[in-house]
Amino acid sequence: MSRHTDRPGPDDRRVRVQGEPVDSHHALPPEAERGSERRITVVGEEVLGRPCREVTEFGTPELSALIDDMFLTMHIADGAGLAANQVGVDLRLFVYDCPDDHGVRHVGHIVNPVLELPDPGHRRLIDDVEGCLSVPGATMAVPRTDRAVARGFDKDGRPLVIEGTGYFARCLQHETDHLFGHTYLDRLGKRDRRDALRQMDDRHEAVLAQRARKAALLSG
């Protein structure tokens, strides 16, 4: 999911890493500092349109390296979340670095997540602008529930429970959708979907140029 600069910025004194509160956290997470940039897939590519495979091997160097690469790739693209199939890897995993509506920064990864949403009778849907790193340059209003819980594991197989409200709840829902082969375009009507694809056509090259500039800055 793309990050929106018109939202309140996170207060770095209020941070949760892997769901746990910490005193502070680097602007560029350690994972990103270790990672290498990967190409971000674009809507229409086959890997984005099918459910991802469950991760069955934990604690491997390959899984750790993938998470590191995803963190760096997400930051280069000014993202708030990134799923593995968005870098062409067919695995149930996403990373995030996303504020909620209270300015709390949430940073981490989750493997094999299962999403829990409020019961329909207690569900509050919010229409808010949403973008996707795999639909570069396009933003549209998408209804999402204002609370979500993701249950899964960390890269070493330890159980995780990640709770989100507001914009971070939106991020959890957006990234979990990716792991089932869906983008936010699938939640739009035909007219809005066409509008989003027109936006992408118009802005795609500018977005890629901005990513290249940021990658150059981060590489020093």
Judge contact between 214 and 24, C-beta under 8 A.
Answer: no
Cα pseudo-dihedral 117, 123, 128, 132, rounded to 10: 20
Instruction: Give the active site residue among 31, 37, 130, 175.
Output: 175
DSSP 134: T
DSSP 184: G
Relative orientation angle of helices 61-76 and 190-218, to the nearest 10 degrees: 100
Where in 102-212 does DSSP place strands (E)?
105-116, 125-131, 139-145, 147-153, 159-165
Active site annotation includes 31: no
Residues that are catalytic? 175
